[in-house]
């Protein structure tokens, strides 16, 4: 008898605890299912960049931006997070070595500079002074125009830490 009471006294908080955990797990799943900012930006827009920036892409220029891989949302996210510009020649060469994304700092991210005219014109990198608004190129024209909604999502993703 004593034992039974002790058991049920323990069981109630355990049941409550798992019910609470269950709720947290379910809402976590919903957030992922809807897609984060980056995935939405990729699905709606950045996938077009793969016509040039993907291994073997028809529009690729040999040796240029071999680090960028827009084949899938996952490869795009990974190559943008860890990569930096490489293989650029001529006027763009001063951007070689510039990271595509600086977590938390959209104004200093080369990815934003190629998507947003304002960021591009104000680009001011202490480490690469030559990579300014004339060296970073507008990439929106290469995919037929800008998509303000998707670009806002890229900005939100970088601002939130580019995870
Ligand atoms: C038609 C081919 C083509 C498409 C489509 C394209 N790019 Fe590029 N991209 C290039 C080339 C070529 C370069 C090398 C620099 C240059 O020529 O301007 C480059 C360079 C870059 C760079 C390096 C920075 C710079 O200014 O050179 C980034 C970042 C970049 N592209 C991102 C993108 C993104 C994001 C998209 C999609 C919105 C995209 N590109 C679409 C061809 C393309």
Domain ranges, residue 100:
36-159
Contact 151 CB / ligand 1 (< 6 Å): no
Q: Say if CB 61 and CB 84 are below 8 A apart.
A: no
The count of domains in the chain is 2
pLDDT in tens, 69-104: 999 999 999 999 999 999 999 999 999 999 999 999
Ligand 1 mean position to 60 CA, how many Å?
9
Ligand 1 mean position to 35 CA, how many Å?
25
Which H or E run includes 18?
helix 2-34
Model confidence at 5, in pLDDT bands (50, 70, 90)?
low
Contact 143 CB / ligand 1 (< 6 Å): yes
Model confidence at 16, in pLDDT bands (50, 70, 90)?
very low
In sequence order, what DSSP letters do the residues of 44-72 get, joined into one string? HTGGGGGGTSSTT-TTPPTTSSTT---SS
Residue 124 and residue 51 in one domain: yes
Which residue has 């323990």 as its token pair?
10
């Amino acid at each position: 008898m004593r034992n039974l009471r002790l058991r049920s006294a323990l069981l109630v908080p355990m049941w409550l605890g798992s019910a609470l955990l269950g709720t947290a797990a379910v809402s976590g799943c919903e957030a992922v299912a809807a897609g984060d900012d980056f995935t939405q930006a990729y699905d709606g827009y950045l996938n077009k960049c793969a016509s040039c920036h993907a291994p073997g892409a028809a529009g690729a220029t040999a040796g240029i931006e071999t680090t960028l891989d827009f084949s899938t949302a996952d490869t795009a996210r990974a190559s943008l997070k860890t990569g930096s510009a490489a293989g650029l020649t001529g006027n763009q060469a001063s951007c070689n070595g510039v990271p595509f994304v600086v977590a938390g700092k959209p104004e200093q991210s080369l990815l934003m500079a190629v998507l947003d005219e304002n960021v591009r014109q104000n680009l001011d990198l202490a480490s690469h002074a030559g990579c300014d608004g004339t060296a970073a190129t507008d990439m929106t024209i290469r995919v037929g125009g800008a998509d303000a909604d998707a670009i806002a999502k890229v900005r939100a993703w970088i601002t939130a830490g580019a995870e």
